[in-house]
A and B are shown apart, each in its own frame.
Chain A
């Protein structure tokens, strides 16, 4: 039976969505911070490409100077030292300002890494989705051979470490040189290491995404496909036009989860030389011996990416919601 309550009066979730209501203070604050963060990133990325493309990443100047923050940090730490044991909380505050100053000084390099992190995540999740949908359909509706093939792929990928998979592609199969030879790689397209990382993340996330979609497919009432077949649609056409539009909506929350995981897993690309956000931070740490501090700075980046993704997907879920279907 359908998931729809049999009352006939259920208006579904459309009536309860936040669209049209005034945002709360918390929402407004988060939205403001989001605009600031993404506004800065986009201006930074554009500026570095259009205005100063020739300057080396590590030699770029931040838009705001780090000096004042360092000044505050120095002053606070002097006070903390004078107060002795009582000054410990002020010492922590001094650390916060020092860390912020370190972050600001390195913002241009971090922005460059963030761009690759965003590219890695977005490209991989979307390419992974393209593979995951047929994979999930094969699992649920396939014959014995397709079903077992899809199952074997999913379990092999989910059952082995992502880092090992990246190593297999990069070191084991040495995909770097052949990918470097492809037209556009390193030119308009990202560098070979980034492309190989994208391949790895696509394969990996396709397996996880297919599990979310598979479980969503089984949540669609069997009568839906029967009705599609009864008007003369073939099995695949019925799956495409009737089952998938419903299943993909059911899958959005789980899929968002996978998206958010991938944002953070993308840091593993650092280990096959991709200069994404985590690797930039590691390099800065190696130069300054302040690993913890710089990792704290990029934690803020990852948090911003995750919160943005979650908010965007919630919005998307509301936009695609259908009365009675959830």
Chain B
């Protein structure tokens, strides 16, 4: 069952080509990890999925429908996003960050929203931080709030834009653990990350993106052990430190 399909997607920022005829399909309950050097178009690719960026050419289908045909707000309700810089609502508590979408997008009552938000935050291990403001949380806690906020919308697909890149190394584990749990529960996930351990053990697909184009895509284990492209081999060995 294909949930997300890119077909010849091209995107420019001004003169610069950031996505170059990208095509791939992602099935329901699959986890895909995208890696690639900075500036290779990974973030832009994610942003095209929930229409934070619009494509120039080609089609993106979500659940069979071209995303250009659906209302952007409705699409975004079904496609959650987790940000590198967390982007937690700075004026709201952890609980308030999760209730906002429940109240204003999904139309929950105040009580329903609080109850649901409490459950989501407990799920990511933040039952004791409900009333903390973002500035009072550690990076790992912030990112888990970010995940709970996205999950509360009951998304079909979750986009992760370098969710651990802004974290202290010792805090990365708690975020990856939550992501691993989500994958085990059957959430469809499209993740831009440099966490190769996560890619290798959790992802169903690994894509190497460079200069806006897919260089190689396939089973993570195969890309690590038997890459077809020299560029993939070079990049992966550099990331893993095996020069």
Smallest CB separation, B15 vs chain A (Å): 23
Q: Is the CB of A231 within 8 A of B101?
A: yes
Contacts of A186-235 to chain B: CB distance below 8 A: 221, 223-224, 226-234
| Given A231-B105, A231-B153, A233-B105, CB of A324 within 8 Å of CB of B76 | no
Which stretch, B55-63, B133-141, B224-232, touches the partner chain A?
Answer: B133-141
Smallest CB separation, B78 vs chain A (Å): 8
Q: Does B149 contact A (CB under 8 A)?
A: yes
Residues of A within 8 A of B52 (CB): 226, 229-230
Interface residue total, chain A, C-beta cutoff 8 A: 32
| Given A8-B137, A233-B101, CB of A324 within 8 Å of CB of B90 | yes
Q: Is the CB of B134 within 8 A of A232?
A: no
Which stretch, A168-176, A238-246, A262-270, touches the partner chain B?
Answer: A238-246
Residues of A within 8 A of B179 (CB): none
Residues of B within 8 A of A3 (CB): 90
Q: Is the CB of A234 within 8 A of B91?
A: no
Q: Is the CB of A232 within 8 A of B153?
A: yes
- Specify which of A8, A231, A242 is in contact with B150 (CB 8 Å cutoff): A231
Q: Is the CB of A8 within 8 A of B133?
A: no
The complex places the Cα of A6 from the Cα of B165 at a distance, in Å, of 13
Q: Is the CB of B77 within 8 A of A231?
A: yes
Q: Does A10 contact B (CB under 8 A)?
A: yes
Q: Is the CB of B105 within 8 A of A242?
A: no
The complex places the Cα of A10 from the Cα of B81 at a distance, in Å, of 27
The complex places the Cα of A192 from the Cα of B133 at a distance, in Å, of 48
- Most chain A Cβ neighbours within 10 Å, of B50, B73, B74: B73
Q: Is the CB of B74 within 8 A of A232?
A: yes
Contacts of B129-182 to chain A: CB distance below 8 A: 133-139, 149-150, 153
Q: Which residue of B lies closest to A232 (CB)?
A: B77
Q: Type the 1/0 row for B77-115, where 1 means its CB is closer than 8 Å to any CB of A.
A: 100110101111111000000001100110000000000
Q: Is the CB of B104 within 8 A of A241?
A: yes
Residues of B within 8 A of A324 (CB): 90, 133-136
- Most chain B Cβ neighbours within 10 Å, of A227, A233, A324, A325: A227
Residues of B within 8 A of A237 (CB): 104
Interface residue total, chain B, C-beta cutoff 8 A: 30
Q: Give the tally of cross-chain contacts (CB within 8 A).
A: 99
- Specify which of A226, A230, A231, A249 is in contact with B91 (CB 8 Å cutoff): A249
Contacts of B176-220 to chain A: CB distance below 8 A: none
Q: Is the CB of B100 within 8 A of A242?
A: yes
| Given A223-B85, A226-B87, A233-B104, CB of A12 within 8 Å of CB of B133 | yes
Residues of B within 8 A of A224 (CB): 87, 89-90
Q: Is the CB of A325 within 8 A of B85?
A: no
Q: Which residue of A lies closest to B103 (CB)?
A: A241
Q: Which residue of A lies closest to B77 (CB)?
A: A232
Q: Does A323 contact B (CB under 8 A)?
A: yes
Residues of A within 8 A of B (CB): 1-6, 8, 10-12, 221, 223-224, 226-234, 237, 241-242, 245-246, 249, 322-325
Residues of B within 8 A of A (CB): 50, 52, 73-74, 76-77, 80-81, 83, 85-91, 100-101, 104-105, 133-139, 149-150, 153
Other than A230-B83, A232-B101, give 16 A-B pairs with Cβ distance below 8 A. A2-B87, A4-B134, A4-B135, A5-B135, A12-B135, A226-B52, A227-B87, A230-B52, A230-B80, A230-B150, A231-B101, A231-B105, A232-B74, A245-B91, A249-B91, A324-B136
Report 26 cross-chain contacts, Cβ distance below 8 Å, ordered by A residue. Answer: A2-B86, A2-B90, A3-B90, A6-B139, A8-B137, A10-B135, A10-B136, A221-B87, A223-B85, A227-B81, A227-B87, A227-B149, A228-B100, A230-B83, A231-B76, A231-B101, A232-B73, A232-B101, A233-B104, A237-B104, A241-B100, A246-B91, A322-B90, A322-B133, A324-B90, A325-B133
Q: Which 7 A-B pairs have the closest CB atoms?
A: A324-B135, A232-B77, A227-B87, A231-B101, A223-B87, A8-B138, A230-B81
